[in-house]
A and B are shown apart, each in its own frame.
Chain A
């Protein structure tokens, strides 16, 4: 217990440092954008008839830091805003706070990512066990190669191919937007059905893109466990195959749970392509739009949120792993 608490404290400290680093990166990027958007905004407001001080105040609210003063003053102001979860206001979303805009978008990313990842995890693990046991056979070979291929193909190629086939050539699924605008939002069959229909292709793309990785990871994990002494011992004792199989699967799956937690964090950032292709209004599309619209406060916020989700996933993965694997719990530094 003490060990876990100490690990947690270490992770939290490291996570906070990471968040500070990323916030610093996005601050300096906004500061170094050519054309100085912050000063331009003050000037624009002054030209619209605002006095200098009010214009500066309005710009501060927009970007989260004072347009005047030394770099250090601007930086501390930005960071203190961050502590209050104040990321400034979005220019493109009628001046709504960035945090609110991010919250709106996050739900469109989280659900498809979650469903797609879990789906591919389940199928990939089953296929991975099979590929490991039959690894000298034809089928095992085909599974392994298909795994490497799917693992290797970039998300956007999969997304474009699926969209081209199922939304254009054989138009059986919608490939644009999260829902039909015909339906009244709310708990009615039409709206929910339309939501589900629009989610099929994005979810399928997530699932296919990560499925190859699961096969490969599970296969190599199972192959390692197969070589362990306790499996040999179980075989020599003449245990039933089904029990041996359960031994193998249970031991092989442990490291994969860690990857699962990590990939959930990573996919939030990788959603950019899928959301762009299927015009799905999640965090990735928000980040992209904020860049093309030059909405810098929103851009920094989206980037920060995506990073925070990865950091949190990292911490959860490690805690989870030490909770389920006694070897990590007792040994602390088993191998460095």
Chain B
């Protein structure tokens, strides 16, 4: 009993230390706080944003691709809808698809990387050949070619396809981490004790790689956003629902936002959203890097 109490109190202390460390890292560079706030803002926008607007955004035929004004801060689109409203309502599709992409990328990538690095031998060879092959085939051209056969009709399907095409990098990285970790003392000790593989992988390997995996997941979110917005922007996918890529496509190729300055707001809206999301994730990853790699905290 006392042993149990002791261990739980040390882990509570560790947790407290951890959060104190997080706070210290955040405080040292306020830019990281901005990143965290922005990420939360995007989550809020994706979850609750569309609720603030009617299902059918009000059209204003007298203001078609109008420049920014007091009522419409970033102007209107080619049907007279407010650009900011479009960005907010369009965020759900984009963020949901990106989340699905990231989860699949990380789960499949981590699974294959762990298995390959831990088992070594023949399975490792086969899996890594496969991973190399995936990494060699250029992603965007493959997606473009696939778009002739697949329709990526919902956000979840889109995320599924992007995730299944995107795990290569994570698998390679996790494998090399596993290879270096399995030679460390604590893993060798666990193996020497004859603990089952499930225990070693689940209780020893995974926790020490968790921060690394979390960072990869955040990066995969941005990758998912870029890929799908890019596909919609290029116009190879059918118009599904309002989303940022669709906005870019309409702005550039239908409203001539690159020729007529009055339509620029229509272009700037989604671009700004993508830029802010990138900034947010870069800042948060930077902070995480320092929290989990104490060696980077140089004086």
Contact = CB atoms under 8 A, between A and B. Distances in A.
Nearest to A147: B282
B148 interface: yes
Nearest to A21: B133
A303 interface: yes
Given A136-B298, A152-B222, A168-B264, A307 B138 contact: yes
Interface stretch (B47-55, B201-209, B232-240): B232-240
B281 A152 contact: yes
B148 A291 contact: yes
Interface string B232-262: 0111100000000000100010000111010
A58 interface: no
Contacts of B144: 272, 287-288, 291
Given A135-B298, A160-B267, A164-B264, A145 B147 contact: no
Interface stretch (A28-36, A77-85, A114-122): A28-36
Interface string B32-54: 00000000000000000000000
Nearest to A227: B295
Nearest to A270: B140
Interface string A1-26: 00000000000001000100110011
A259 interface: no
B149 A34 contact: yes
Interface stretch (B18-26, B104-112, B272-280): B272-280
A190 interface: no
Nearest to A34: B149
Nearest to A314: B136
Contacts of A26: 145
Given A18-B133, A299-B145, A276 B234 contact: yes
B3 interface: no
A164 B258 contact: yes
A311 B136 CA distance: 7
B271 A160 contact: yes
B226 A154 contact: yes
**On chain A, which size bracket covers the interface?**
35 or more
A303 B133 contact: no
A201 B141 CA distance: 23
A59 interface: no
Contacts of B146: 29
B60 interface: no
B137 interface: yes
B interface, size bucket: 35 or more
A46 interface: no
A66 to B, nearest CB: 21
A160 B248 contact: yes
Contact of B274 (A154, A169, A266): A154
A32 B149 contact: yes
Contacts of B268: 164
B275 A303 contact: no
A288 B271 CA distance: 22
Contact of A168 (B132, B139, B259, B271): B259
B286 interface: yes
Contacts of B140: 269-270, 272
A234 interface: no
Interface string B119-140: 0000000000000110011111
A53 to B, nearest CB: 29
Given A272-B141, A291-B148, 11 more contacts: A14-B132, A22-B137, A153-B278, A157-B275, A164-B257, A164-B258, A272-B234, A287-B141, A292-B236, A307-B138, A314-B136
Interface of B: 31, 132-133, 136-142, 144-149, 179, 222, 226, 229-230, 233-236, 248, 252, 257-259, 261, 264, 267-268, 271, 274-275, 278-279, 281-283, 285-286, 298-299
Interface of A: 14, 18, 21-22, 25-26, 29, 32-34, 135-136, 145, 148-149, 152-154, 156-157, 160-161, 163-164, 167-169, 175, 266, 269-270, 272-273, 276-277, 287-288, 291-292, 294, 296, 299-300, 302-303, 306-307, 310-311, 314, 336
The 3 closest A-B pairs by CB, nearest first: A269-B138, A154-B226, A152-B278
